[in-house]
Structure 1
């Protein structure tokens, strides 16, 4: 993944070199190519990043609107799911099976396209701007008790429930290619931000579990390892049988989108 992002940065920097026409040895005049976008104002697009990270059950659509020659705003909305836990063994006595796994996201940004770094006008070329993003996840898993032989203990169950609310505000740097005047490929390469990670963890059972807090702590560690997006929410938190959690921490935003210009 790091190599892939590095290559994206190299390609972006290559295509962001400005085009100049030389009038004299001491004066350079910047020239623009308005035919790249035909001055079209709208882009509808599909965000492929959640599918790459979390699987095919994620679906995020976006819309970008050109405000001026070098400005635009965009909005992304979609449904998200985590990868399945699928037969996750916990504490040598429980097995987690997926039961419910849903979520959604909303993100908006303002984009300022660089006047002296791009050949054309917005929405083509290198840009920067502030963004805000909100993510909501809900997950519920049934935990089955097993004995020392690995057999399920009938009549007993436990259920683990959790939720996460994440809101990030930051600044992004990206490059959008407009190909054949109609196809847009949008790459948000760097998006440092700072935000609030909040959520809830709860364990219910029809039998008494003497080490509930330890089991929840182990579930927390497994979730953080499998879903790094929860790192800011759960890492380092003391987990109790039921409780709300919240923390402020930094984050990053990387996005790959394809769209249609009209």
Structure 2
């Protein structure tokens, strides 16, 4: 398996100021492990870290950023406001609490985690705009939004919607959403880009991986990059963090891309009862 540890942060493609490969921290709940994985990723070259209020690990993520020998301004840091905190005043209060836990005085990107719970487009996004105006956040994002939610958000939000973070991988290709976001200039960010491990069982991905002396994880991440989608794979061990990082050196050819594009599965891994897809 070819591993290219000489890759540097300058090798990471950039989407309007956001590194297109990041470290996801969902379900990385052990504080010391989370701190160590964040520090390991940053020292390896990652410059994009993603967390959320609901993950319960913002303090550990912040500790990992402090532990790494990387300047705060070189780290693209994103978190998400949970559905119970989406009333305007709660957005303001909980975001300041998140910043305190993370140990930072600004966030590069703040997401609405789901269009659910206390979400009200005008009030919620108005609060995010207020945070942006006062310099607490640099970009406004949403997560798990379908095109109809994005359309409403853009109508009521005074600031641009920078990104939409959704589940996306070769077994859930999000064609309609990708087309909409491309037309509207909204960055797509893929969580669960390895389909919670099921990419390792897909014959097309494993065949392509063998062809390139790579891993199926690297193939999935390289395919997303070819689609101009930012990926934030969750990883805790140094080996997995390194394997994902090495995906930056993998170049898929046209045949590889077509073969993955032809996968017609709709295998959603994350679908809570408040998800738009479950309505």
Q: Which TM class, normalised by the smaller chain length?
A: under 0.3
Structure with greater Cα Rg = 1
TM-score by length of 2: 0.20
TM-score by length of 1: 0.21
**Comparing both structures, which one devotes a greater share of its residues to helix?**
2
Decide which structure has greater strand share: 1
